[in-house]
Chains A and B, each alone.
Chain A
Amino acid sequence: MKALIFDLKRYAVHDGPGIRLNVFFKGCPLHCLWCHNPEGVAFEPELMLMPNRCARCGDCVRACRYGALNQDSEGQVEADRSRCTLCGDCLEACQREAIAIVGREMTVEEIAAEAEKERVFFEQSGGGVTLTGGEPLAQPALAEALMDGLRRRGIQVALDTSGYAPREIFLRLAEKADLILFDLKLMDEKKHQKYTGVSNRPILENLKALETVGRPVWVRFPLIPGVNADDQNLEAMAEFLSGLKMVQQLSVLPYHKGGVEKFRRLGRQAEFAVFEPPSPEQVEKVIGFFRKKGFQVKRGG
């Protein structure tokens, strides 16, 4: 059994307590226009070009048997992804790691072996592994096997999820996590549909259902001006969350343009949008708003 993983990140310090290993599952049922990990959206491996590392030597173009790569007049490499078979020949040819295939199949054992390398840091810091993505619950069998495998090894597990998953799967996996990082984006269903491609009803219902699970929950709120920074949304969120006892902490994550460069590298600019990051004052205001409502609020993850 294998999962499609797009990155393993060591010394992750913003996604749960302590020093962590982030396991990024590839594929997400949501399609948020502001996504800062756009390489985690599609459920299959993708070709990614890193022009900042490219020597413009053309080795990759020559190595491609399918005519999927070519250079423009300035030597910049372009990809015709419809022709690409993800054979990896161009990766071999490139000596600068300017081309990558994001997403590779990994077994539980392979991922656990990476986690073992970080054990001394987990144990010292109270950290562990965070399953994130994309959406880990979109590959439930592997996510569950991984959580079981890590727990057997005595490694703490956090689940970072959009909450968008069938109830039964959601609850079963939530129960196996030591901590749930729950991304809450928008309270208005129509807006949620517009910006993420799905309704928020199952998300909100799942969050509520966590009450029965008895695991601590940290809610994470990406703050995006023009989308969810308005009073109406904030009030609705506060009201919804204030009834939930298992929510220990609310993290306000100011939107940033970190994903924009990645859209380009994936050749998927058209599918996403660019927003303006909130001003520091605006972030402070929102944090203040939630603090006043009695929440434990943190800036950033």
Chain B
Amino acid sequence: MKERIKKLREQSVNTRPSISPERARIVTEAYRNPEVQRVSIPVQRALVFKALMEQKAVFIDEGELIVGERGPDHKATPTYPEVCCHSLEDLETLNSRPKTSYAVDEETLRLYHDEIIPFWRGRSMRERIFAEMTPEWKAAYQAGVFTEFMEQRAPGHTVLGDKIYQRGLLDIIKDIEESQARLDFFNDPEALDKQQELKAMAICARALITYAHRQAELARQMAAVEKDPQRKRELKKIAAVCDWVPARAPRDFWEALQYYWFVHVGVTTEYNTWDSFNPGRLDQHLYPFYKKGLEEGTLDPERAKELLQVLWVKFNNQPAPPKVGVTAEESGTYTDFALINIGGLRPDGRDGVNELSFLILDVIEEMRLLQPSSMVQVSAKNPDSLLLRALKIVRTGFGQPSIFNTDAIVQELVRQGKSLEDARKGGSSGCVEAGAFGAEAYILTGYFNIPKVFEITLNNGLDPRTGKKIGLETGDPRNFQTFDELLRAFEKQMRYFIDIKIRGNNVIEKLYADYLPAPFLSLFIDDCVLKGKDYHGGGARYNTRYIQGVGLGSITDILASVKYNVYDRKTVTRDELLRALSQNFQGYERLRDRFINKTPKYGNDDDYADDLARLVFEMYFGLVDGRPTVCGGTYRVNLLPTTVHVYFGRVTGATPDGRLAHEPLSEGISPVQGMDRKGPTAVIKSAGKIDHIKTGGTLLNQKFTPQLLAEEEGLVKLKDLIRAYFKLMGHHIQFNVVTAETLREAQKHPEKYRDLIVRVAGYSDYFVDCARELQDEIIRRTEHQGF
């Protein structure tokens, strides 16, 4: 790693995230401006964006090559009071909480107290949303049946396609003018709305060019006084790059990266979008510039790598916008989910892997940064060498890159109605969410706690945690003579809560479309410009809303336990089961042991349980998929948790799978922690039984110890394990390489780690089944294993 990169990286890693009031101040001042108040809402938003681009601080740090930041300093994180206006208590909490804290200084508190809070109190989107929600929605939200993504953050969730590499903003402004010229004021009742939206887009496009020129001007000023001739040349080059992009299409590798970064800064300054924007298929987008640079002798692999590393630092300088309350629980992390895609297919269906794919993996390995996150798309057409290279990074225990099945993603997107070409241009973003990059708004609306709904069913509509009736009275489960009766009650209860969630979503979608449009983001997502419609209002070519199901493993094991123990083998009565649950298994320890140890479990390739996983999945899918959204989109399902399985577990009492009250639920489509006892192939078979193609993403986590992957042969076998999962059309898999610390935990709590396989010597075994001496030896070995 070059000295420059080392310094920038260290600075990024060591800087504590802080809250910057700069954006809140500029936005509030802009909204106070009478000129801004007079115009239509889209134009209002454009003028606010313009004020930000004209006034936000510009700086270029020592050694930087790609310039521009969201905040006035590295990791200085802006706030978005028009979406969510933090109270002084919120700011105190952000400053002092032990996890994902942000430094808040006196100046920020004063500004919030004097200016921001008085102006925004009662006007923020968050307050509008809560004011419009029904009592049923609020009861379910408070009980932890579902979460709401848009109560603190704007919709967002999209990824850039290839547009900017071919068109500068001046070209896009021409497109806007053409759309304006096409407006039909005689027949189209929305013509005026479109005119205003297009006007707003043009203002935003020019505003970003202004921001770039401010950066160029700064670079020129710095170059004029710079003593070091090499740095002087660099600053001059930075100025030239910023003069050219984003106004015009990039001509080389450097300009392409800088253009992307300007767009990134723009999108994340306009709003605190969920699942931060990212360049998506970076290896494919950049390859033409890379090739051209090598051919012309203006670029070499080392320089390309350096520029990419600089971009990586930029991503890492942008912690997620601060989250509080339930939203902080569901996504408790600094990471903002920018997920770089490597590999996959070209739009014409050919293998998309190129030299840059490998170069980017080198960058990921060397940089070892929290952000951006990265993934490898693997199609049957992609070479094993790419996957093996990625696994060499995985085994270092870094948790990146995650591995995705291109062939499943393409099928998922095509099933949802995308063209084959758009599907192949897509990938996954956020955690695992499939999307048509550059052409889709695929917005996550909230997590849905499936086991909680079952708990409410078992309590005939009551939430046992609070004693409040929040669900339907689907009948006293003591009277259900058959398992099918219970299932029908559960489905009714599921439908009830999903309806509540969708009703709320539809209101929220409309609120954003009407009150907080995103004209800047709309510039880059097709076909917003063509249609003259905002990204938040259905302007994208494809509009998808997801409700993310949580706890598939838990609900499967719960149903399997009830079916097996209560209805099939009749070893426990319905009454006894309910009493055991209400007592959190106190006095029912033997029963709990039976539920845990002697009951079929998901993750073991056992159809008794896996058939129930399919049943629940199909039920959830049937209740959500295909329903319309207010702005012309469609509801879809996916199965992922971020960190919400911990929060959802905390609000859910003891469950019939033997889980104690308040313990986490299973995550993604992974088995319940420690319940998969037949090794990874059995997990993969179980996970492969649900129809991934009907989802927009599933998440499967697997644990491995470094010894299993130490030698080339172990890596090859892991590669084959993944390839086999992808043959079964699994969507995604990621690996946690186990540390010595985890092994010590497993010694202390063997019941939670019964799935943990370790390599002993010439063979592998379950760690918890190894003798203590052997366990100690493995821990010592794990500690000393370095790559």
Contacts and interface: CB of A to CB of B under 8 A. Distances in A.
Nearest to A123: B724
B interface, size bucket: 35 or more
Interface in A95-145: 95-97, 117-118, 120-121, 123-125, 127
A55 B761 CA distance: 30
Given A11-B681, A261-B771, A256 B764 contact: no
A117 B724 contact: no
A300 B681 contact: no
Given A18-B717, A19-B720, A256 B761 contact: yes
Given A57-B590, A125-B724, A260 B771 contact: yes
Interface stretch (B264-272, B489-497, B536-544, B593-601): B593-601
A256 B774 contact: yes
A51 to B, nearest CB: 11
Given A120-B727, A125-B717, A55 B593 contact: yes
A258 B590 contact: no
B760 A261 contact: no
A97 B594 CA distance: 9
Interface in B747-782: 750, 757, 759-765, 768-771, 773-774
B605 interface: yes
Contact of A124 (B590, B593, B723, B763): B723
A300 B720 contact: no
A51 B787 CA distance: 36
A154 to B, nearest CB: 16
Interface string B576-591: 0000000000000111
A98 B594 CA distance: 12
A10 B681 contact: yes
B762 A52 contact: no
Contacts of B717: 13, 18-19, 125
B630 interface: no
A63 to B, nearest CB: 12
Given A52-B768, A125-B720, A260-B771, A14 B681 contact: no
A253 interface: yes
A149 interface: no
Interface string B662-690: 00000000000000001111101100000
Contact of A96 (B597, B681, B682, B770): B597
B762 to A, nearest CB: 4
A261 B776 CA distance: 14
B769 A52 contact: yes
A88 interface: no
B745 to A, nearest CB: 16
B770 A117 contact: no
B714 interface: yes
Given A10-B682, A256-B774, A121 B763 contact: no
Interface string A191-205: 000000000000000
Contacts of A256: 760-761, 774
Contacts, number: 104
B761 A121 contact: no
Interface in A146-160: none
A260 B777 CA distance: 14
A59 interface: yes
Interface in B355-402: none
B774 A59 contact: no
Contacts of A161: none
Contact of B598 (A57, A95, A255): A95
A253 B678 CA distance: 24
A251 interface: yes
Residue of A53, A55, A59 contacting most chain B CB atoms (<10 Å): A53
A291 to B, nearest CB: 16
Interface string B431-453: 00000000000000000000000
Contacts of B60: none
Contacts of A124: 720, 723-724, 727
Nearest to A13: B717
B598 A301 contact: no
A120 B721 CA distance: 9
Contacts of B765: 258
Contacts of A96: 593, 597
Given A120-B728, A300-B761, A261 B770 contact: yes
A254 B777 CA distance: 14
Contacts of A14: 759, 762-764
A246 to B, nearest CB: 21
A11 B605 contact: no
A164 to B, nearest CB: 20
A133 to B, nearest CB: 13
B749 to A, nearest CB: 12
A268 interface: no
A96 B589 CA distance: 11
A19 B762 contact: no
Contact of A301 (B757, B762, B771): B762
B761 A254 contact: yes
Contacts of A83: none
A151 B158 CA distance: 50
Interface string A1-31: 0000000011111110011000000000000
Contacts of B685: 117, 120
A190 interface: no
A257 interface: yes
A301 B597 contact: no
Contacts of A123: 724
Nearest to A95: B593
Nearest to A261: B771
Contacts of B750: 52-53
A261 B598 contact: no
B681 A19 contact: yes
Nearest to B718: A13
Given A117-B605, A121-B721, A301-B763, A95 B590 contact: yes
Nearest to A11: B679
Given A10-B681, A124-B724, A251 B597 contact: no
Interface in A213-263: 220, 251, 253-258, 260-261
A36 B750 CA distance: 22
A97 B597 CA distance: 7
Most buried by B among A18, A117, A118, A300: A300
Contacts of A57: 590
Contacts of B679: 9-11
A124 B757 CA distance: 22
Contact of A257 (B723, B762, B774): B774
Contacts of A12: 763-764
A283 B144 CA distance: 56
B720 A18 contact: yes
A13 B597 contact: no
A300 B762 contact: yes
Contact of A118 (B681, B716, B757, B763): B681
Contacts of B773: 257, 260
A50 B597 CA distance: 14
> Which of B590, B680, B761, B773 has most chain A Cβ within 10 Å?
B761
A124 B725 CA distance: 10
Nearest to A251: B762
Interface of A: 9-15, 18-19, 36, 50, 52-53, 55, 57, 59, 95-97, 117-118, 120-121, 123-125, 127, 220, 251, 253-258, 260-261, 300-301
Interface of B: 589-591, 593-594, 597-598, 605, 678-682, 684-685, 708, 713-714, 716-717, 720-721, 723-724, 727-728, 750, 757, 759-765, 768-771, 773-774
13 contacts: A12-B764, A13-B714, A18-B717, A50-B769, A52-B768, A52-B769, A95-B598, A96-B593, A96-B597, A121-B684, A124-B724, A258-B763, A301-B763
Given A121-B720, A253-B761, A260-B771, 9 more contacts: A11-B682, A57-B590, A95-B591, A97-B598, A121-B721, A125-B717, A254-B761, A256-B774, A301-B762
Q: Which 4 A-B pairs have the closest CB atoms?
A: A261-B771, A95-B593, A125-B720, A301-B762
